[in-house]
């Protein structure tokens, strides 16, 4: 697919859907290692004002962890690839628990790799992530073990390998569905969606946004992508967002969503 290195600035009004790791913040070896700087918080506050609150995180992290990372800022979130939601700031969190079979797989794999430095397991309810960013040499062994373990999970679970590890995901964990759910409610309804992400798990979101006439942007793509536009790194994402904020007046009216 043909991509363009510089996304155009959006025509208002639009809604922003943002991945976090590798998109707004650089990846770290350990998921708990990221930190949010004041510059990013200020940018998100300004962006939220421009789009009348139609800004949401669409991430593989849990809603609880997103709130902790970005505190005191609170933004609508689709967590765990859409398996968890908080649709409005201050609203209730629709959380997802860890099924027993996923817990069993997690415990078995943790025992298998407990002596391998740099392999980290992140248990996120129905989603199990195995991070190998700090141990790239272990990825093949982790993947082989995961493929064997997949048979012990219910039908509909799949393994998605990303930039630095893999995740066990249920079939309903799709960023496309998460974005679609937001677009059905205020203040997102009627706005042109913009989705920015950096990994394989973001591809369903790009496909969906393309079909709705929105803007799809992948950061630092490695190989083919459904995104129509690309940006080279996190700094470029922040720079583009800042220009988008400056290019649109606060409180712009609504547009018609295309199909």
Which residues form the catalytic set?
19
Question: In angstroms, how far is CA 179 from the centroid of its own chain?
Answer: 11
Q: Which residues pair with 94 in a beta bridge?
A: 85
> CA 56 to CA 53: how far, in whole Å?
8
Contacts of 33 (CB under 8 A, 6+ apart): none
> CA 170 to CA 249: how far, in whole Å?
40
- Residue in this structure with the two tokens 């630095």, named with its chain if needed: 164
- The CA-based dihedral angle spanning residues 216, 194, 241, 17, taken in that order and rounded to the nearest 10 degrees: -110
Edge-to-edge strands of the sheet including 127-131?
120-124, 127-131, 165-170, 157-162
A 10 A CB-CB count for 41 gives: 14
Closest CA to 198 of 23, 11, 77: 23
Contact criterion met (CB below 8 Å) for 83 and 126: yes
Length of the chain: 259
Q: Which residues pair with 56 in a beta bridge?
A: 17
CA atoms within 13 A on the CB side of 174: 15
């Amino acid at each position: 697919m043909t991509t363009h290195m510089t996304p155009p600035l959006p025509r208002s009004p639009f809604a922003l859907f943002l991945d976090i790791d590798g998109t707004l913040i650089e990846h770290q070896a350990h998921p708990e290692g990221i930190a949010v700087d004041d510059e990013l918080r200020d940018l998100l506050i300004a962006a939220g004002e421009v789009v009348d609150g139609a800004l949401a995180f669409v991430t593989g992290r849990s809603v609880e962890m997103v709130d902790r990372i970005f505190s005191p800022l609170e933004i609508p979130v689709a967590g765990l690839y859409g398996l968890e939601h908080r649709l409005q700031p201050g609203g209730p969190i629709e959380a997802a628990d860890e099924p027993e079979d996923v817990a069993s797989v997690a415990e078995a794999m943790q025992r298998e790799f407990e002596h391998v430095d740099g392999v980290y397991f992140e248990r996120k309810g129905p989603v199990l992530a195995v991070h190998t960013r700090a141990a790239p040499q272990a990825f093949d062994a982790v993947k082989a073990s995961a493929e064997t373990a997949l048979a012990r999970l219910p039908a509909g679970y799949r393994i998605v390998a990303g930039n630095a590890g893999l995740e066990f995901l249920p079939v309903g964990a799709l960023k496309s569905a998460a974005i679609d759910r937001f677009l059905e409610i205020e203040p997102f309804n009627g706005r042109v969606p913009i989705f920015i992400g950096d990994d394989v798990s973001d591809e369903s979101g790009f496909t969906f946004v393309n079909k709705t006439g929105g803007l799809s942007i992948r950061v630092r793509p490695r190989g083919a992508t459904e995104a129509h536009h690309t940006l080279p790194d996190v700094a470029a994402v922040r720079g583009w967002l800042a220009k988008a904020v400056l290019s649109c007046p606060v409180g712009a009216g609504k547009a018609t969503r295309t199909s």
